[in-house]
Structure 1
């Protein structure tokens, strides 16, 4: 890359988004790009990253960097590629992840390992490599997409909720450690109208393959992205986003836990009887 082009990129905010090929990650990448940021698009599916780049308002202000977050031995090289191309990383948004739904009794340890590998270890592996660069510069912003299930757990979400709770613990601890000019934000969505349940795993390792009704009725990812970016620009440490049901559920869980779990026992998960 020419020094002139790198200088042009360095004049912009450089935002690296993992899980950028769909859903929340895609929406956040598009919103930041529309606001003038230079976007690094990462996910496993390069063809989908090409589609997303083509749909950006300013596609010239983006680079594609294929990434499988479970290939931990490649993370150093991926970070180096971003720095070589952009000269810096102002913001990291960790959005890559997978959903899971099944009863605890149907869930083997191998599934817990797989979900944790993607949703927890794959997430923090990138943060651990980007953090020293931000500490060296004395500033930066790390944002992580978690879930309402990272705050409370309901039926048939044990593997997913465990990973998301882990992310809350990790990033809350990190926030307490880093200098003031390095911001750590947790984005905690409820139901968002994405394809997350299409790729949801069950205890047999099969995919659901359909949209859940709750997600179809959820907030549009574009609307979510606009709200979230506004809050991120204000350096909010914790961003809840979703409908009344999710927000009310968190309130009841925190204030009246006995009542919350009495209600939770009576609710049937939407998609558990599938092979």
Structure 2
């Protein structure tokens, strides 16, 4: 594989960060770092990752130049936006980076997730970077699919919970960690707790719980319970994750009715790590 054009990527991501710094900013979620800090982290991680895949030592001067240019651009009333070609070249290198990370021997999902978060940030750019002709949408989809494929290859165990029947009423569904096969365990999940808050009028909750494993295994032996990061990827994909070739059903569906009860406070951690798809 040809080496990455790291300097060109650094220039493109620096120009992008300047545009976001001097333009409209995204809503800032509570208890999260400022977007400017996150973009710097993403850029540094990507440039270092590319260098290491190329067998090189990361060049600290690239981030020094990044810091200098963003500082000089503060408060400027005019700056030159990136060209379409620069955008295309930058995004193309990010796509190549994702493909190389997926092809690597070890688990590089967190590095791919960094690229995905940056691409998601770009897709919300109000003017230039979210155009239709620079392959941004395709790059983001490729990162998502790579994360799904790699997660399905992990030797993990998880459960899909469906509250309500497939024919309706369908209230909520989501993937949770480990094997959840009885009503008491269902009650501990955020899938159930969030649904109770959303639909307080429901008194009895029909539930279907199906246990799955990854890595193409035929049983839950030699598996570990899915981590919060695994669940983040799975729940973002939704039920399409179950179509991955390496995912196997090993139990269920277990059908039950869960009587409504008070939802646990989200301030205290639940015993299981879970996610929710409404």
> Which TM-score applies when normalising by structure 1?
0.27
> Which TM-score applies when normalising by structure 2?
0.27
More helix by share: 1
The structure that has the greater radius of gyration is 2
